[in-house]
Amino acid sequence: MADEGDGPKDRELTEKEKKEIAKWFLANAPTGEIQYVAKDVRALIADDHLYGTAAAEAFPLFNKAHLVVLEMPNRSGDVIISSFGEIDKDKYLDPRTAQVATVDHVKQICTKVRPATDEELSSAYVEDFRFAVDSELCKYVVDTYPKGASSVYCTRGKDVDGPGADFDLAVVISASKTSPQNFCNGSWRSIWTLEFKDDLQSVEVNGKIQVVAHYFEEGNVQLDAKNECRDSTILQSPDDCAIALTSIICHHEAEYMASLEEAYLHLPDTTFKDLRRKLPVTRTLFPWQNTLQFSLNRDISREFGIGK
């Protein structure tokens, strides 16, 4: 960018370019740090109106991508900001409480809630499955993620009113921890899509897990780990389905956690060593004291015309 021919150094950026840069920084903020990034971006842009439009576009994208969890007023629990629950730009469904939360994306707060309408909720038949999976999953999430929140949405076929048709559920698990005083933030996000296939009498399971961590005391080190997996189970009663599906999710997530641990365990002796060894191949520190000798020798060699 800086090397382009028309010399950006001599030319003011257009408003549109500035806005794009502001949006890029906001959208690429690490988990839990968008407010800090926003403060910096605002100072750099030095144009509150321009910043405002950039923030209005970037924050919703960030909040949805990071599955930000917001507390709903009246102690009715948390709502997860995700594309699955999105009714419009600032309204998100919480299927568990059958409420629609209005959120302020930039402030990252939930301002009010209203009961969801019938059109926004799924049919009684689908709701039986959704509710069963949600309840079972809730137990797992509470036991596994100290800061975790979860939600189960119907993403397709919410009007299916009995056996004989397909529908999809989406499971979202979001756990994040911010600890700015310790210069450390991180999040675990998983999205599981459950396809209930009536003709095959099966449920196809697809999972995407992303784990990120940022440590930035006198430095900047980030972990970004992702995985995808698939599985399936047979279509049974809602309660049996819920138990089977939760156990599949639990199994894959535990397995993934173990593979993360394994990756960390192997860092020092394999991965990291491939980049730079702890000690030289000679297993002793480099003989710098001989370098003086080395250069003297070279001078001598030159004087006597030996070597090259």
Partner 1 sequence: MEAAMDLMRRISPNQSETALSALLNLLPHHSSELLSQVDQPLQIFMDVDCAKEFVLCEYNRDADSYRSPWSGKYYPPLEDGSLPSPDLRKLEIEANDIFAVYRDQYYEGGVSSVYMWEDDDDGQGFVACFLIKKDGSKAGHGRKNYLHEGSWEAIHVIKVEPEEDGKAHYCLTSTIMLSMTTEDKPSGTFNLSGSIRRQVSHDLAVADGHLCNMGKMIEEMEGKLRNSLDQVYFGKTREMVCTLRPPPQGNFIVTALVEQFLVNLAI
User: CA 155, CA 150: separation in Å to the nearest integer?
Assistant: 15
Which 237-266 residues touch partner 1, going by CB under 8 A? 253-257, 259-266
Nearer to partner 1, 73 or 180 (CB): 180
- The least distance separating partner 1 from the CB of residue 111, rounded to whole angstroms, comes to 27
Residue from 228, 234, 237, 240 touching partner 1 (CB under 8 A): that is 228
Q: Could you tell me which stretch among 11-19, 64-72, 83-91, 197-205 binds partner 1 (CB under 8 A)?
A: 11-19
Residue from 218, 303, 307, 308 touching partner 1 (CB under 8 A): that is 218
Map residue 121 onto helix, strand or coil. coil
- The least distance separating partner 1 from the CB of residue 271, rounded to whole angstroms, comes to 5
Is residue 73 within the footprint of partner 1 (CB under 8 A)? no
Map residue 110 onto helix, strand or coil. strand
- The least distance separating partner 1 from the CB of residue 73, rounded to whole angstroms, comes to 27
List C-alpha distances in Å: 70 to 19, 102, 113, 144, 297: 27, 10, 12, 20, 71
- 100 φ/ψ angles, rounded to the nearest 5 degrees: -115, 125
Is residue 15 within the footprint of partner 1 (CB under 8 A)? no
Is residue 236 within the footprint of partner 1 (CB under 8 A)? no
Burial class (CB within 10 angstroms; exposed 0-12, middle 13-18, buried 19+) of 277: exposed
Is residue 139 within the footprint of partner 1 (CB under 8 A)? no
Is residue 268 within the footprint of partner 1 (CB under 8 A)? yes
DSSP character at residue 29:
P
Which one, of 186, 176, 191, lies nearest residue 228 by Cα?
A: 191
Q: Are 238 and 132 in contact (CB under 8 A)?
A: yes
Nearer to partner 1, 103 or 211 (CB): 211
- 58 φ/ψ angles, rounded to the nearest 5 degrees: -80, -40
User: CA 168, CA 170: separation in Å to the nearest integer?
Assistant: 7
Is residue 18 within the footprint of partner 1 (CB under 8 A)? yes
Which 151-180 residues touch partner 1, going by CB under 8 A? 175-177
Which 78-107 residues touch partner 1, going by CB under 8 A? none
User: CA 49, CA 47: separation in Å to the nearest integer?
Assistant: 6
Nearer to partner 1, 201 or 222 (CB): 222
Residue from 15, 28, 166, 234 touching partner 1 (CB under 8 A): that is 28
Is residue 147 within the footprint of partner 1 (CB under 8 A)? yes
**Conformation bin of residue 33: beta by default, left when phi > 0, alpha when psi is -120 to 50:** alpha
Q: Could you tell me which stretch among 96-104, 129-137, 230-238, 271-279 binds partner 1 (CB under 8 A)?
A: 271-279
Nearer to partner 1, 26 or 241 (CB): 26
User: CA 110, CA 16: separation in Å to the nearest integer?
Assistant: 30
Which one, of 39, 100, 42, 41, lies nearest residue 70 by Cα?
A: 100
- The least distance separating partner 1 from the CB of residue 252, rounded to whole angstroms, comes to 10
Q: How many residues bind partner 1 (CB under 8 A)?
A: 91
Which 179-198 residues touch partner 1, going by CB under 8 A? 184-188
